Structure 1
Amino acid sequence: MHQRTSRAHQRGRGVMATIVLAFVLGGGLIAVLYAWSQRGVADAAPAAVPAPPVPAAAPPASIDERAARAERAMRDTRLFAPPGDNAFELYLRVLDADPANATARNALGDLFPYALIYIEERLAAGDASDAARMLALMQRADADAPALPRLSTALAELRAAQAPLPPGERGAIPTPAARPEAPEPAPAIVTAPADATPGSPPAPATVAVQPPAPAPQPDPAAPAVAPTALVAATAPQVLSRAQARYPVIAMRRRIEGQVELEFTVLKDGSVDDVRVLASDPAGVFDREAVAAMQRWRFAPQRAQQRARRVFDFRLD
């Protein structure tokens, strides 16, 4: 009896162990299957792309670097183009960093007359966009330049001429100019011969044409009118002449011209109060002509006097 009870007890313990083992194996199988499923999901998901590194901001160019770029543009004759990489604009950037930079101010002063010529060329070519760009740069360099209002007006006129007309509106058709009427010929005077008798065949008539009225002769007593030209005053004897320097930019662009100056010769023969009366092209050679004239020396005289000279700038 006791042996039967012990065997039943052992059989029960074996069944419980089998059940526990089944649960353990089943839980492990479930864990393995779950892990495999998660691995498949992870493999199917796209890999995260790392963000590219943000480049560090370049340090601003120093004043020396800006000046070096402007000088290279000047040597390469990139005076006003291309936009953003020309000497005029680069020297303006030097002044933005150092408003008291003398080199940049002198360079812009030398370039200013040629900028006027450049804008006039762009306006003549109908390029309003480039003319407006350069005009804005000139206003930054010298807002009080006397030529700016004239150039602004010319630019506005060009834009108005290039603006398209509204639909259905036509411009006025210009009427042809009236042609001057030709003067009427002098009436012919027909005279019959004195010995004509009634009933005789008519003799050929004599046609006499009145000669035109003579042109009025000038009165010899009236004073002659001199042409409206500037006559230079006679200056004393010249002791030394200083040659005017030919601007480098004008030489490279093959620009010629002249400058007429008026100045005062002092008693000791030195020159003072030099003024520009006329220049062509305007402003291109003025500075060099004035600088040369101030170095001229004349023979001493009893009283100071005003005189005029013309400097011609010509290329061989």
Structure 2
Amino acid sequence: MDTRNSRHARSRARGAVKPVTIAVLAIIVGLAVLSWIFIIKPHEDLVGTDGGGHPSTPVTQGPQAAAPVNVETLSLNDLLAEARKAMNQQRVISPAGNNAFEFYLKVLQKQPGNQTAADALRETFPFAASNVEQVINQRDFNEAQREIDLLAKVDPTNYTLTILRSKLDAQRKTLDQEQQKQLDQQRLADLAAQKAASDKAAADQAAVQKAAADKAAAAQAALLAQQEKAKEEEAAKERVASASAAPSTNTGSASVGGGDTREAIPISTIRPRYPSTALRNSQEGWVDVQYTVNVDGSVSNISVVSAEPRHVFDSAAVDALRRAKFSPALHDGAAVASQQQKRIEFKLSSSQ
């Protein structure tokens, strides 16, 4: 009895297995069909495209710049093929308009649930972020901003974007600081050049002024030398005139004792020095002096009787007589002291 029941149960179990097996096989077949539609066929199309099968896209080798592609005219499969080719040519996120990221994003725009595009974007996100960092370091800030905005369309909350934005801001600030430093250095250089030019102009002006002062001093020295020479010539003339007039100045002739009697005669030129103040002011004048000629021919007791103008030429006149030498007056052939008075004139014409 138990044996019959056991056999019956096994027979019923074998009958139940057949529908399950059929269902499993049906699922497998369905998955195979779906795989062919969504994986194998796109792959075959992609391989055909990479081999030059797509007539609109030429095959290129290596990472290089490519012209933008009009994605609006491409089908879903064409977009996937273009994306795959861009990946092979290392155009992950650049150049603009012809890179894998933009192709995959367009696929998702046309078919939001496309797993191939979503997986590719997720897997290539780190590589794209690395590319953005390189672009930032190269200071291509506009391109870096474009790539960051493209990454934000894939994963806007990814913390990597925060890091990249911070690096971009830091590099921009660094560049601004460097440019400002260059501007400051240029400004300092300009100021230094201006100061150097100003100092040179001041030095040139000082040199011109010194040259003018030296020239004026030389002219003044030449004038004084000329005046001294003129005075010496005038003194020589006076000596000659005095010597020729000496016989007529005698107050008497031979006396009983046979000696001469005459007034004192100057034997050196009475040559006053023209006062520098009067010379600068172009002043002229005269001084009447009274003095004593001693028996040895020296002069003493010099006094100013009158002068015009007063106190301008007095000292010069007294000093000139103090330096003068005379042949003393004679009385009966003997030297005697005598009093004389003389007008000493100061004229610019005679001093030059």
Could you tell me the TM-score, scaled by structure 1's length?
A: 0.32
Larger Rg: 2
Could you tell me the TM-score, scaled by structure 2's length?
A: 0.29
- Bigger helix share: 2
